[in-house]
Amino acid sequence: MKRYVDKHSFTMPILVDTDMKIARQFGARGVPTTFVVDRQGKVVASGFGPIDFDAPAFRDYIRALLSASSG
């Protein structure tokens, strides 16, 4: 996982849930599963399967979320 994250220069926190404890708590049913968590710890979005983190729509969503939570 570390090589993949480094290769793609991801800077966001990435959870590797080896014992599936968090997956069970969140009801994750597939791999990979992505959760977007706001600054208050609330899950505001989720997706199953590959996510293009470089897609303009995803980046715009994150920017909007950051703007909304900083005000």
Does position 71 have pLDDT exceeding 60, yes or no? no
Q: Does domain 2-70 have CATH number 1.20.1560.10?
A: no
Q: What is the pLDDT of residue 28?
A: 83
Domain ranges, ordered by start, for the chain: 2-70
Question: DSSP assignment, residue 62?
Answer: H
In this predicted model, what pLDDT tens digit does every residue of 14-67 receive, in sequence order? 878 889 898 888 888 787 888 888 888 888 888 888 889 889 999 999 889 888
Among 53, 21, 60, smallest CA distance to 34 is for: 53
**What pLDDT score was predicted for residue 51?**
87
pTM of the model: 0.61
Over 15-61, what HEC string results? Answer: CCCCCCHHHHHHCCCCCCEEEEECCCCCEEEEEECCCCCCCHHHHHH
